[in-house]
Structure 1
Amino acid sequence: MISSRPQRTISRPVAVRGRGYWSGARVRVEFRPADPGTGLAFVRDDLPGKPRVQVDVATAKPASRRTVLAVGPAEVEMVEHVLAALYGVGVDNCEIGVDAAEMPGCDGSATEFVAALDRAGYTEQPAFTHPIYVDRPFRCGGGDQWIEMRPSIGGGLSIEYHLDYGSGSPIGTQWFVLNATPGTFRSELCAARTFVLKSEAEALRAQGLAGHVSPQELLIFDADGPIENELRWPDECVRHKVLDVLGDLALVGRPIAAHVVAFRSGHLLNGELASALSNAYCQERIRRSA
């Protein structure tokens, strides 16, 4: 059973540099220690006044193929791998300073972010977490694309994902389930990379996006499999989908005890589920305090 524990931050600032997939802009991401109870927040160091964008379902902005947060004109995008790294290793409070809107793609996974956080080290804080214990189902979507949160199976957070690109696709059908702990996150999930079909990559380039991205920077599939690259796991694609779900659930801002089941879900549905859970939890707190 997941239980309340001392909150954690990192012990010192540490940075990751790279380029955004969509824009190609170079960006520096600096993870910084933060006070107890402050949660996760991005700071746009490049904008006047260094505006702060709190990681919260209320700051999420609908977007295709990525998770975007915004407060007024201050926006950060492609934040899901950064958030998955923080949630996965158990960091509750952290300030993330950035000098561009889009987070670096790195190798398409959360590996570089986890390595940076591990270099910084971790510090327990004089405050405790307040986990959310899911006691009833929440479902978003329907038909052949949905995501659902159910009561926990083993007392913690587990994520089950069903990926289906069809029998004629080089990706095909994949299934993966993970009991999410810092150990399993590091060994089974954080290195799973972003993937696209060759046709999707060509469509993005036609729109003037991701023109600089090579097959070595993410998985691009043609009819025969990954182009100029090799899979880290036979089911790396579905593992990456689980990574995305974990990063999007970080919007809730608290540890979660639940079993999540997803079928062909993407960032929009993941965000809807996080919002539904957060809203239900807030209402429950209001009822208990009344």
Structure 2
Amino acid sequence: MPERRRQRTLAGLARVRGQGVHTGEKTSVSIRPAEPGHGLVFRRTDLEGKPLIPATVESIVWSKLHNRTTLARGQAEVQTPEHLLSALAGLGVDNVLVDLTGPEVPGCDNSSLPFVEAIEEAGIEEQDAPLAPLSVDAPITVRDEESGAEVTAMPSTRFEVTFFAEFPEGYFLEPQTVHLQVTPKAYREQVAAARTWIFAEQIPGLLLRGLGKGGTRESVLVIGKSEFVTEPRMRDEAARHKALDLIGDLALVGRPLRAHVLARRSGHALHAKLVQQILAAAT
């Protein structure tokens, strides 16, 4: 059985304001301390009754997992929560109530760094309640046979992620690999600043589908076939952001994870299926 640790919440209130990368709507999140056992829960304060949407696999909207994660309970949605969830998981926060003023979590610069900075400013404190991490006892793999994407959870005494990013033929970028043991220090230094990215040729189709309305040259890494269209923060920013997204999607397990998760060319839908399989194996 993995070693238990104390649960963690925020010492104070953390606020982040910005524009949703897909809806383009200006929204804010107020991340509030919560009691032990509360988990990561969103509250839509702009809707009647202020409905609660827990960040769990049961809340996933499976039809909206192509470019982002979407959570919902009834008609109340939380779009694009993965960067905030990634920051909370990366910093080891277990219990918060996140007040959201619109349908989409603010994208800010489309990394998780604004959330990390707000959480660190509020402070993190331990609670007088134990929490047992969820361990993976045997390898679990899910794959997409059509695309060749796959993600595997391997047994480990700690939480590690490795992402293998591959790019289509004809693009200038070589494959990129990012590995980190997910600790608050490693998370902040290695992945938090990595932004959402897109191939330049995908932008018209994204806009036609009513998405990407809040993207800017400063907040999205745009990759052309022969060069970066917008300036990268680091050469392997694309792979680092995929690792950031993976950590956020794995937060839907609902407990600290003890596993080494290796992903190749995968996205939100495959990550969500892995979460399902991890939870099924634990029951």
Of the structure 1 ranges 173-182 and 162-171, higher mean CA displacement relative to structure 2 is found in 162-171
Distance apart, 1:215 and its partner CA? 1.4
Give, as a single letter, the amino acid of the residue that structure 1 aligns with 2:149.
Answer: Q
Q: Matches of 2:57 and 2:40 in 1, distance apart?
A: 12
Q: Matches of 1:82 and 1:18 in 2, distance apart?
A: 13
In structure 1, the partner of 2:92 is: 90
CA contact (8 A) 1:201 1:220 kept: no
In structure 2, the partner of 1:225 is: 227
Summarize the alignment of residues 231-250 of structure 1 with structure 2, pairs less than 5 Å apart: 231-250=232-251
CA contact (8 A) 1:18 1:26 kept: yes
Aligned residues: 279
**SS in structure 1 opposite 2:18?**
strand
Summarize the alignment of residues 45-56 of structure 1 with structure 2, pairs less than 5 Å apart: 45-56=45-56
CA contact (8 A) 1:134 1:258 kept: yes
In structure 2, the partner of 1:36 is: 36
Distance apart, 1:211 and its partner CA? 3.7
CA contact (8 A) 1:166 1:172 kept: no
Distance apart, 1:203 and its partner CA? 1.5
Select 2:153's aligned residue among 149, 156, 181: 149
Q: Could you report, residue by residue, the CA deviation over 1:198-222 in whole angstroms, capped at 9, with x for unpaired residues? A: 1111221233332442211110112
**SS in structure 1 opposite 2:153?**
strand
Structure 1 portions without partners, runs of 5+: 284-290
Superposed CA RMSD in Å reads 1.4
Give, as a single letter, the amino acid of the residue that structure 2 aligns with 1:17.
Answer: R
Q: Matches of 1:207 and 1:48 in 2, distance apart?
A: 28
**SS in structure 1 opposite 2:114?**
helix
Summarize the alignment of residues 179-258 of structure 1 with structure 2, pairs less than 5 Å apart: 179-227=181-229, 229-258=230-259
Q: TM-score, normalised by structure 1?
A: 0.92
Q: Matches of 2:208 and 2:172 in 1, distance apart?
A: 23
Q: Matches of 2:20 and 2:102 in 1, distance apart?
A: 9
Structure 2 portions without partners, runs of 5+: none
Matched, 1:114 2:116: yes
Q: TM-score, normalised by structure 2?
A: 0.95
Q: Matches of 1:211 and 1:160 in 2, distance apart?
A: 31
Matched, 1:162 2:164: yes
CA contact (8 A) 1:166 1:173 kept: no
Q: Matches of 2:213 and 2:38 in 1, distance apart?
A: 38
**SS in structure 1 opposite 2:216?**
coil
Percent identical pairs in the alignment equals: 38
Q: Matches of 1:38 and 1:16 in 2, distance apart?
A: 21
